[in-house]
Structure 1
Amino acid sequence: MESTVFDKTFRDSEGKIVIAQAPNLPLIVWIVTSLLSLIFTTGTIHTVLDVVATGSLFTWAWLELFEGVNYFRRTLGFVVLIGLVAFKAIY
């Protein structure tokens, strides 16, 4: 059976359609540190939380870009990586 563009874009190696997955450690760290930075809005704690959040989101995007289960997940990693770099360059 021939693989279609849809199959290559949305299916993993087992043939399952994968659009969303359970969060992995870098994504969980990003969520937690981002929420904590909303509580601690100034000072050294906020700066550390912002650096950790940015680093963990960068790590997640990098992993998705190079190890994503399908082209959709790899594209998602690329878009988040470019968006993160652009956002940090502006702010």
Structure 2
Amino acid sequence: MSRFLQWFFRNRETGDITIAQAPNLVLWVVIVAGVLRWVWQPPGTAAIALDIVFKGGLIVWALDEIFRGVNPWRRCLGGAVLAYELTTFL
């Protein structure tokens, strides 16, 4: 593997290559909100509340990845999700 890829994907805490990780609490909340919104399709206020939880949770998760990601790949992933959410929000 090239030196750049080693640097980009190497976990700074364990030294392993890290591309994906198990979801943290915030991402689990986002997943549950997304599944509920998709399966239940609630009317009115409940739909708005689920959308806020979903989008707000993704923004919180993205910021967490940007500041505490274990490698540059995870930080870039957080940045991409944040950019997408802010673009679709505006």
TM superposition score normalised by structure 1: 0.88
Q: Kindly provide the CA deviation profile for residues 54-83 of structure 1, in whole angstroms up to 9, marking residues without a partner as x.
A: 111111100001110000000000000000
Structure 2 residue 37 is matched with structure 1 residue 18: no
Count of paired positions: 86
Match in the other structure for 1:35? 35
Q: Tell me by how many angstroms 1:47 deviates.
A: 0.7
Q: Kindly provide the CA deviation profile for residues 5-44 of structure 1, in whole angstroms up to 9, marking residues without a partner as x.
A: 2222001122100000000011111111011112134211
Name the % identity.
42
Match in the other structure for 1:59? 60
Amino acid at match of 1:11: R
Query: Residue 16 of structure 1 aligns to a residue in which SS?
Result: coil
Where does the alignment leave 5 or more consecutive residues of structure 1 unmatched?
none
Amino acid at match of 1:49: L
Q: Matched residues in 2 for 1:24 and 1:48: separation?
A: 21
TM superposition score normalised by structure 2: 0.89
Cα RMSD of the aligned pairs, angstroms, is 1.1
Where does the alignment leave 5 or more consecutive residues of structure 2 unmatched?
none
Match in the other structure for 1:75? 76
Q: Matched residues in 1 for 2:64 and 2:7: separation?
A: 18
Q: Matched residues in 2 for 1:57 and 1:75: separation?
A: 14
